[in-house]
């Protein structure tokens, strides 16, 4: 999830501070999420997804299929 948050933020050309402003969350929180030091709340995920103009599921990797 942290890598996809960073991916979408960079795709939109947003700095951490700009994403924080658009989402209404603290920039330190975004930095900590991207670096794997914090897990976002559901509410925060919704705000980040809206600010990035993606569906919440886009912030998570696709499920892996089990090997047979």
pLDDT digit string, tens, across residues 17-64:
999 999 999 999 999 999 999 999 999 999 999 999 999 999 998 877
pTM score, two decimals?
0.86
Considering only the C-alpha atoms of the chain, give the largest distance between any 2 of them, rounded to a whole number of Å.
Answer: 46
pLDDT at 68 over 90: no
Q: Measuring CA to CA, how many Å separate 11 from each of 7, 37, 47, 53, 65? A: 6, 22, 17, 11, 27
* Higher-confidence position of 67 and 58: 58
Domains plus CATH for the chain? Answer: 1-41 (1.10.260.40)
């Amino acid at each position: 999830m942290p890598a996809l948050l960073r991916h979408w933020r960079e795709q939109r050309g947003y700095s951490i501070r700009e994403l924080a402003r658009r989402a209404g969350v603290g920039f330190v929180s975004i930095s900590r999420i991207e670096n794997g030091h914090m897990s976002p709340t559901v509410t925060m995920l919704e705000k980040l997804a809206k600010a990035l103009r993606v569906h919440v599921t886009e912030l998570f990797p696709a499920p892996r299929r089990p090997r047979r």
